[in-house]
């Protein structure tokens, strides 16, 4: 059926990628309305070879539409996502605005699509969370999870165009304008803001979102999130204690059999997850599998995914696809 679709934040990195993925997945877009703030209104975007003029987002923008994909920051989503939902649209929001709201489902289609209930406002998880919960869900189903510890290596595109520009300007020896230090010279262990307890908001997001998506509010999870001088493609190192004993062969098969995961794991041949492999695809790459002998039933793994695609735009469109194919 034809789905009248709004894309809010159409001029941004994620918004533009949403348009690309809508086209690639052949989503049945009946009518397209790209929306953005006054600052970007008037610019054009391409969709299926046709140019569309971006309209300024107002409360009336959603009238007569079926679906709204948001990626325009938490402030815009806080205000406009409920307006779109109350007008009867299915709303999928990529911002952090609604993720921790108990009423709002937080969805990764391969992991917890069943959480999509009648509530037509759905939150897209944080990019580093999405690529982590796929392998963790695969392992949880077979071996059970006892504890999770994340260390992330996050690309600058996670900060949008401003992050990419800071990498480029500091590579040329110019001063940084977005990050506190020249990202081309140093990793920066600060993503989003610092909280009272010394964690950053990004780390807190990964902890809370992991528990919500895996339906285990008491699962011990911790995280250290670091920005690295990589243009696109987040890496996440995961140390996980499983409930049950396992062999690496069992783990490898469990992961390889899981929808959305590509296992790349042969150190001798330099085969492991990289941005080079992941960028431009919608899959999560998993490798560097090995036993963590520092604890009982410990396993170490490393994942990479295109943080703009599977980490944001593709995950959102996949949710929309799953919902509208059921309508
Ligand atoms: C980042 N995960 O990488 C955050 C938001 N995309 O900056």
Distances from the Cα of 183 to the Cα of 7, 154, 168, 187, 192, angstroms: 31, 11, 9, 6, 15
235 is in an annotated binding site: no
Q: What is the pLDDT of residue 202?
A: 98
β-pairing, 298-305 vs 234-242, is antiparallel
| 234 part of the active site | yes
Q: What is the pLDDT of residue 68?
A: 98
Distance 113 CA to ligand 1 centre (A): 23
99 is in an annotated binding site: yes
User: What percentage of the chain carries pLDDT values higher than 90?
Assistant: 97
Taking the CA atoms of residue 215, residue 130, residue 225 and residue 21 in that order, the dihedral angle to the nearest 10 degrees is: -160
CA 184/CA 164 separation, integer angstroms: 10
- Asked if residue 191 has its Cβ within 6 Å of ligand 1, the reply is yes
CA 206/CA 236 separation, integer angstroms: 11
Phi and psi dihedrals of 157, rounded to 5? -65, -15
- Asked if residue 315 has its Cβ within 6 Å of ligand 1, the reply is no
CA 178/CA 312 separation, integer angstroms: 21
Does residue 109 carry a pLDDT above 80?
yes
| 6 part of the active site | no
Atom of ligand 1 nearest to the CA of 312: 6
Per-residue confidence band for 192, with pLDDT thresholds at 50, 70 and 90: very high
The mean pLDDT of 3-24, rounded to a whole number, is 97
Q: What is the pLDDT of residue 117?
A: 76
The mean predicted confidence, pLDDT, of the chain is: 97
User: What percentage of the chain carries pLDDT values higher than 70?
Assistant: 100
- Asked if residue 8 has its Cβ within 6 Å of ligand 1, the reply is no
pLDDT tens sequence across 245-303? 999 999 999 999 999 999 999 999 999 999 999 999 999 999 999 999 999 999 999 99
CA 300/CA 317 separation, integer angstroms: 30
Q: What is the pLDDT of residue 326?
A: 84
b/e for 221-251, b at 16 or more Cβ within 10 A? Answer: bebbbbbbbbebbbbbbbbbbbeeebeeeeb
b/e for 64-80, b at 16 or more Cβ within 10 A? Answer: ebbbbbbbbbeebbeeb
Per-residue confidence band for 1, with pLDDT thresholds at 50, 70 and 90: confident
Does residue 118 carry a pLDDT above 80?
no
CA 164/CA 176 separation, integer angstroms: 11
pLDDT tens sequence across 89-108? 999 999 999 999 999 999 99
Residue owning the nearest CA to atom 5 of ligand 1? 158
Residue owning the nearest CA to atom 4 of ligand 1? 158
pTM: 0.97
Residue owning the nearest CA to atom 7 of ligand 1? 158
211 is in an annotated binding site: no
Q: What is the pLDDT of residue 315?
A: 98
Complex prediction ipTM: 0.97
The mean pLDDT of 110-134, rounded to a whole number, is 94
Atom of ligand 1 nearest to the CA of 163: 7
Does residue 327 carry a pLDDT above 90?
no
β-pairing, 29-36 vs 55-56, is parallel
Q: Could you tell me which residues are beta bridge partners of residue 148?
A: 221, 240
């Amino acid at each position: 059926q034809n789905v009248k679709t709004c894309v809010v934040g159409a001029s941004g990195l994620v918004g533009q990628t949403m348009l690309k993925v809508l086209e690639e997945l052949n989503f049945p877009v009946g009518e397209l309305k790209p929306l953005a703030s006054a600052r970007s209104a008037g610019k054009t975007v391409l969709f299926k070879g046709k140019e569309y003029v971006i309209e300024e987002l107002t409360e009336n923008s959603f009238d007569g539409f079926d679906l709204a994909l948001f990626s325009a920051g938490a402030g815009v989503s806080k205000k406009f996502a409920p307006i779109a939902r109350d007008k009867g649209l299915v709303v999928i929001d990529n911002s952090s605005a609604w993720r921790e709201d108990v009423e709002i489902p937080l969805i990764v289609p391969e992991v917890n699509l069943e959480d999509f209930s009648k509530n037509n406002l759905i939150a897209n998880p944080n990019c580093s969370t999405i690529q982590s919960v796929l392998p963790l869900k695969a392992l949880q189903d077979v071996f059970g999870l006892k504890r999770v510890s994340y260390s992330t290596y996050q690309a600058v595109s996670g900060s949008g165009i401003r992050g990419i520009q800071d990498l480029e300007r500091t590579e040329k020896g110019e001063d940084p304008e977005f990050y506190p230090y020249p990202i081309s010279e140093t990793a920066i262990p600060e993503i989003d803001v610092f909280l009272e307890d010394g964690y950053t908001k990004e780390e807190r997001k990964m902890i809370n979102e992991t528990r919500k998506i895996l339906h285990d509010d008491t699962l011990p999870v911790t995280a250290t999130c670091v920005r690295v001088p990589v243009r696109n493609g987040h890496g996440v190192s995961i140390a996980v204690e499983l409930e049950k004993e396992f062999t690496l062969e069992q783990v490898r098969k469990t992961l390889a059999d899981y929808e959305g995961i590509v296992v790349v794991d042969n150190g001798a041949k330099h085969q492991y997850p990289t941005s080079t492999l992941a960028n431009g695809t919608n899959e999560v790459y998993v490798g560097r599998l090995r036993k963590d002998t520092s604890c009982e039933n410990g396993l170490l793994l490393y994942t990479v995914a295109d943080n703009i695609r599977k980490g944001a735009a593709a995950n959102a469109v996949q949710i929309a696809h799953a919902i509208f194919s059921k309508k």
